[in-house]
């Protein structure tokens, strides 16, 4: 069957794309270009990519503004950190069979993601009855609630409000800054989200964004799809949080997950283009790297963000990519056969 | 004796103190085409909103076949077999014509999250199947060549048709058309008329139709129900209705 062949070919090209990117990282690594500083930025890009693509599911595809994404990231970060700490203690005490760091990290990552998804579900069910500005406000509220609760949990490093700001950090977290593992996780996450968007689920949530009354008249259970998308989005925010927690500093502070953090990711989604995974990936990389490159002006970062956002709204309200998706397969097909590339929307995309 | 598809008895809804619809009775048989007419603000669209679960009736009951539909949510009612179109077209404008129809098949798709993430064979098969089904449906409306168009770019008449196609794709037994000929020129109206006749023959579906274009109503409706101020004032064959003094009074004033 012709279609089957094309699907397989697309899959191979996508895998190839990921491998080429991986090899590029490997080459840079073996040339000694990747020191700890670059490694830090690389990991920052990776969890930003997961955060932004997952937030894009809610903002771009479902069309609902959510300002509490950092809250879910916090849940994922703390849960995974506590789990890996517990595993570490268990191994030391001989209660658990020894296992590699990567294994521990993955168990923590999965727990963090599931915990974040549960929070997403619990927050989503009441919150998604609202829409527009009201949803934005309530998600903002939930995000802050999650953070403040963490601030007051003794086992999460918080000492309670009575103790003021002092010593509120979770310390001694496992370090997992192997760039290949993080790269792999990121690629898989983006691939899963792309698959989600290109299925009945993606179609349904785009339809709900376009017209919710018509969607329910076409037989869609709107509440179900909204809550599902919110939960999936929170799940991946949890994964990003887990990567963040294990990025190598060994500490976690509740103040890492403030409202400003959520806003940063919202800006990245808008900049990349609501409804474009490519845009999200590119915007996440750009806005993670630029502040590092412009270290000297770091105190103006939020100012620069705002200016970028305002200019964007004036000159290109659809974001850098609109809803265009980059496809390595289509690009190669165009170059090799001279056929014009098909519309970016229906095409498959190669890698992270 | 053909079976009753949609039956309402004493159906009504009150908004505050206003009885928007009161004591609404209807009995639509299999394959029947009934017109619902009345002056502006008479409550025609409210009746549709009751039948599709947008509003919950505050009095009376309505049945689809033998199933009580009172209080069900819109998507449950659609799953049971009542589909509708809207007075002001509601398409998914930025989605393709094909996708607009595919949405209506969503409720029948069996693959779940794992299937769509792993891209299983079942996933591809189901996707291919519904695409074929959607294409067949589009060709009934002569839209097959425009399957890749953005729905918002279709000419007006074809947008109306696409909306009907989407409603049919839900596999409905009962189709509610809210002013399908609104804003159409005479040629488009004639085309729509032919189109409605085709789908009746092809899908053996019952239709309840709201319309202001009397030539269309008198032409295709087998039976007409007239409402004014939320209550039925007359019903019967088209020629009876057009001579009914109460109907004339409602439209022209006494």
DSSP 8-state symbol, A343: P
**What's the mean pLDDT in B46-74?**
92
Task: State residue A345's pLDDT score.
Answer: 40
**Cβ within 8 Å, pair A218-B54:** no
A51 min Cα distance to partner chain B (Å): 19
**Cβ within 8 Å, pair A211-B123:** no
Residue of higher predicted confidence among A17 and A298: A17
**A343 — pLDDT class (breaks 50, 70, 90):** very low
**Cα separation of B165 and B228, whole Å?**
30
Q: Radius of gyration of chain A from Cα atoms?
A: 21
B92 min Cα distance to partner chain A (Å): 5
pLDDT tens-digit readout, A43-94 = 999 999 999 999 999 999 999 999 999 999 999 999 999 999 999 999 988 8
A198 min Cα distance to partner chain B (Å): 8
pLDDT, chain B, mean: 91
**Cβ within 8 Å, pair A217-B128:** no
Name the token pair of A16: 């190839």
The reply to whether B232 touches chain A by the CB within 8 Å rule is no
pLDDT tens-digit readout, B126-136 = 999 999 999 99
B64 min Cα distance to partner chain A (Å): 16
**A163 — pLDDT class (breaks 50, 70, 90):** low
Alpha carbon B134 to chain centroid distance? 18
Q: Radius of gyration of chain B from Cα atoms?
A: 19
Q: Which helix (H) or strand (E) holds A48?
A: helix A36-56
Q: In a mutagenesis test of the A interface, which of B45, B55, B74 is the best target, namely the one with the most A β-carbons within 10 Å?
A: B74
Task: State residue A12's pLDDT score.
Answer: 83
The reply to whether A1 touches chain B by the CB within 8 Å rule is no
Say if residue B93's pLDDT is above 90: yes
Give contacts of B 105-164 with A, CB under 8 A.
Answer: 106-107, 109, 111, 113, 115-119, 123-124, 128
**Cα separation of B248 and B181, whole Å?**
22
Task: State residue A352's pLDDT score.
Answer: 40
Nearest to B106 among A3, A196, A203 (CB): A203
Single out the residue of B90, B79, B92, B20 nearest to residue B49, CA to CA: B20
Strand boundaries in chain A, DSSP class E: 169-170, 252-253
Assign B21 to helix, strand or coil: strand
**Cα separation of B87 and B45, whole Å?**
8
B8 forms bridges with which residues in the sheet? Answer: B26, B62
The reply to whether A82 touches chain B by the CB within 8 Å rule is no
Name the token pair of A173: 């977290």
Residue located via tokens 């309530």: A138
pLDDT tens-digit readout, B148-178 = 999 999 998 899 999 999 999 999 999 999 9
**A161 — pLDDT class (breaks 50, 70, 90):** low
Task: State residue B25's pLDDT score.
Answer: 92
Name the token pair of A293: 């490159």
Give contacts of A 6-25 with B, CB under 8 A.
Answer: 7
**Cα separation of B130 and B108, whole Å?**
9
Say if residue B43's pLDDT is above 70: yes
Residue B95 Cα distances to A110, A221, A279, B21, B106, angstroms: 35, 19, 19, 35, 15
Helices A259-272 and A301-315 cross at an angle (nearest 10°) of 30
Task: State residue A165's pLDDT score.
Answer: 54
**B245 — pLDDT class (breaks 50, 70, 90):** confident
DSSP 8-state symbol, A61: I
Domains by residue range for chain A, with CATH: 37-302 (1.10.3470)
**Cα separation of B124 and A199, whole Å?**
10
Say if residue B2's pLDDT is above 90: no
**Cα separation of B143 and A207, whole Å?**
20
Assign B165 to helix, strand or coil: helix
Q: In a mutagenesis test of the B interface, which of A214, A219, A220, A346 is the best target, namely the one with the most B β-carbons within 10 Å?
A: A219
**What's the mean pLDDT in A212-237?**
95
**Cβ within 8 Å, pair A204-B124:** no
**Cα separation of A287 and A17, whole Å?**
23
The reply to whether A131 touches chain B by the CB within 8 Å rule is no
Q: In a mutagenesis test of the A interface, which of B53, B92, B126 is the best target, namely the one with the most A β-carbons within 10 Å?
A: B92
Q: Is the distance from CB of B44 to CB of B136 less than 8 angstroms?
A: no
**Cβ within 8 Å, pair B107-A216:** no
B171 min Cα distance to partner chain A (Å): 10
Read off φ and ψ for residue B174, nearest 5 degrees. Answer: -130, 125
Q: Which helix (H) or strand (E) holds B197?
A: helix B186-203
Residue of higher predicted confidence among B28 and A344: B28
Could you list the residue range(s) of the whole structural domain that residue B50 is in?
Answer: 4-252
The reply to whether A188 touches chain B by the CB within 8 Å rule is no
**A160 — pLDDT class (breaks 50, 70, 90):** low
For residue B31, the domain's CATH number is 3.40.50.300
Task: State residue B5's pLDDT score.
Answer: 92
A4 min Cα distance to partner chain B (Å): 9
**Cβ within 8 Å, pair A204-B78:** no
> For chain B, how many structural domains are there in total?
1
Lowest mean pLDDT among A286-295, B60-69, B181-190, B205-214: A286-295
């Amino acid at each position: 069957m012709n279609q089957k062949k094309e699907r397989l070919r697309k899959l191979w090209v996508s895998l190839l794309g990921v491998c080429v990117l991986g090899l590029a990282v490997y080459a840079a690594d073996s040339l000694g270009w990747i020191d700890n500083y670059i490694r830090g930025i690389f990991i920052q890009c990776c969890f930003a990519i997961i955060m932004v693509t997952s937030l894009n599911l809610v903002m771009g595809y479902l069309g609902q503004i959510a300002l509490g994404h950092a809250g879910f990231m916090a849940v994922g970060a703390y849960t995974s950190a506590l789990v890996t700490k517990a595993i570490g203690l268990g191994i030391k005490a001989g209660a658990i069979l020894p296992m590699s760091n990567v294994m521990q990290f993955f168990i923590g990552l999965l727990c963090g993601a599931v915990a974040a998804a549960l929070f997403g579900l619990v927050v989503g069910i009441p919150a998604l009855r609202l829409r527009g500005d009201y949803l934005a406000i309530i998600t903002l509220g939930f995000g802050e609630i999650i953070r403040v609760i963490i601030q007051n949990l003794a086992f999460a490093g918080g000492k309670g409000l009575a103790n003021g700001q002092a010593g509120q950090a979770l310390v001694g977290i496992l370090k997992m800054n192997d760039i290949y593992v993080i790269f792999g996780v990121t690629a898989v996450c983006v691939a899963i989200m792309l698959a989600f968007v290109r299925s009945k689920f993606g179609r349904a949530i785009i339809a709900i964004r376009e017209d919710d009354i018509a969607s329910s008249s076409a037989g869609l259970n709107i509440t179900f799809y909204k809550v599902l998308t919110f939960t999936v989005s929170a799940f991946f925010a949890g994964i990003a949080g887990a990567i963040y927690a294990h990025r190598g500093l060994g500490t976690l502070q509740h103040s890492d997950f403030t409202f400003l953090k959520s806003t940063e990711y919202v800006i990245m989604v808008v900049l990349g283009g609501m409804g474009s995974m490519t845009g999200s990936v590119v915007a996440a990389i750009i806005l993670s790297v630029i502040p590092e490159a412009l270290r000297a002006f770091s105190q103006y970062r939020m100012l620069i963000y705002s200016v970028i956002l305002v200019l964007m709204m004036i000159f290109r309200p659809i974001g850098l990519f609109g809803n265009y998706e980059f496809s390595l397969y289509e690009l190669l097909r165009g170059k090799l056969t001279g056929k014009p590339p098909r519309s970016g929307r229906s095409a498959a995309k190669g890698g992270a | 004796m053909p079976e009753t598809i949609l039956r309402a008895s004493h159906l009504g809804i009150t908004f505050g103190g206003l009885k928007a619809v009161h004591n609404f009775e209807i009995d639509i048989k299999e394959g029947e085409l009934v017109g619902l007419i009345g002056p502006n603000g008479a409550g025609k669209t409210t009746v549709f909103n009751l039948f599709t679960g947008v509003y919950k009736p505050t009095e009376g009951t309505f049945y689809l076949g033998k199933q009580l539909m009172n209080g069900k949510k819109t998507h449950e009612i659609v799953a049971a077999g009542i589909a509708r179109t809207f007075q002001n077209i509601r398409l998914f404008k930025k989605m393709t014509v094909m996708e607009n129809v595919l949405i209506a098949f969503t409720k029948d798709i069996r693959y779940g999250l794992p299937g769509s993430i792993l891209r299983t064979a079942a996933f591809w098969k189901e996707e291919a199947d519904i695409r074929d089904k959607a294409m067949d449906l589009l060709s009934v409306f002569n839209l097959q060549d425009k399957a890749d168009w953005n729905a918002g770019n279709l000419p007006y008449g074809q947008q109306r048709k696409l909306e009907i196609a989407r409603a049919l794709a839900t596999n409905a037994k009962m189709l509610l058309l809210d002013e399908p000929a609104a804003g159409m020129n005479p040629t488009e109206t004639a085309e729509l008329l032919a189109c409605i006749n085709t789908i009746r023959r092809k899908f053996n579906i019952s239709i309840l139709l709201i319309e202001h274009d009397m030539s269309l109503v008198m032409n295709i409706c087998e039976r007409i129900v007239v409402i004014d101020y939320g209550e039925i004032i007359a019903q019967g064959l088209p020629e009876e209705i057009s001579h009914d003094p109460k109907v004339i009074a409602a439209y022209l004033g006494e």
